[in-house]
Amino acid sequence: MRPYCLKSLAAASLLAAAGIAMTSAGMAVTSLSAADDIFQQSRAVYAALHSYSDTGVLDIEYATSRERHTFTTRFKAPRRFYFDFRKSGGDRFAIWSDGEKFHDWWRSTGVQNDYQQGRGVSAFNQAGYLTLGSGLKIPALLFPGAGLQGAFTNLDGIVPDGEEDVDGRRCYRLVGTTKDVYTGTGREVNVRQMTVWVDAETLLIRKVFEDAPKGTAVAAVMRITTRYEPQANPALDDNSFQFVSSASK
């Protein structure tokens, strides 16, 4: 799967098209109850952000075991970016951009790859596998014109499923179906149900649950729950986007 070139979208146009009202604090709110409308408004909010950061936890439930991994995301429009995924066993995968080139680094190989402007999305080619999908979720919303093939890109059939508190925040609970799609052939695999919890005040995503794909054998079951502590438009200096692989081994 090869994503397309990064393109920026005009934040004001997206917000106007989605009909999002803004509070005096600059955050988006919605009174809509339709699940797809809420999710589309959430997309528009991410696309309009000047900066973003989060810390996240990814819990995986297998048939006979569990794992927990962590990650950090930082973004500053239009192209500064940092994503650092740390596996519980000690492995690590990072993607970052200094505003010009994108880079990736994988601890298991010790190799750093550098991508010229216009080829930055190539840094995400391994993200689906090496970060168990987390490296393609929020980045696909921050770079909406990039064509990143993550779970949110292929989410459809969204229906409302009530409201629920997540870490003390009232959230809309939305349920839909997602899948992985091979860009070259259009082949669809790993079709699975996904639940997304969207903060009712900020429209930022706070939790995602992905069930095992349809037809998965009991012994191969894998369910993934991802939790986010997101911040919209935080103050981030340029040092926040530096990654030195030799110091990370």
Sorted by where each begins, the domain ranges of the chain are 11-234
Residue 39 has pLDDT above 60, yes or no: yes
**249, pLDDT greater than 70:** no
Could you count the other beta carbons within 10 Å of the beta carbon of residue 244? 8
pLDDT at 224: 96
> Is residue 42's pLDDT more than 60?
yes
Residue 122 CB partners (closer than 8 Å, separation 6+):
2, 3, 102, 113, 115
* 65 half-sphere exposure, CB direction, 13 A CA radius: 3
Please say if the pLDDT value at position 80 is more than 50.
Answer: yes
Q: Is the pLDDT of residue 26 over 90?
A: no
pLDDT given for residue 183 in this prediction: 65
pLDDT for 112 equals: 94
Share of the chain above pLDDT 70, in %: 83
Provide the pLDDT for residue 34. 74
When the pLDDT of each residue in the chain is averaged and rounded to a whole number, the result is 85
> Strands, E, within 142-239: which ranges?
156-166, 169-181, 188-199, 205-210, 222-232
Max Cα separation, the chain?
Answer: 52
| Choice between 81 and 145, residue whose per-residue pLDDT is larger | 81
End-to-end CA distance of the chain: 29
pLDDT at residue 225 tops 80: yes
pLDDT at 187: 75
Q: How confident is the model at residue 149, as a pLDDT? A: 84
Name the pLDDT band for 214 (thresholds 50, 70, 90).
confident
More confident residue, 120 or 31: 120
- Provide the 8-state DSSP code for 26: S
Tally of residues, the chain: 249
Q: Which residue has the higher pLDDT, 82 or 116?
A: 82
The single-letter DSSP state of residue 168 is T
pLDDT digits (tens, 9 = 90+) for 161-204: 999 999 999 999 999 999 877 667 767 788 999 999 999 999 99
Give the separation between CA 193 and CA 124, rounded to whole angstroms.
24
Homologous superfamily of the 11-234 domain (CATH): Lipoprotein localisation LolA/LolB/LppX (2.50.20.10)
pLDDT of 115 strictly over 80: yes
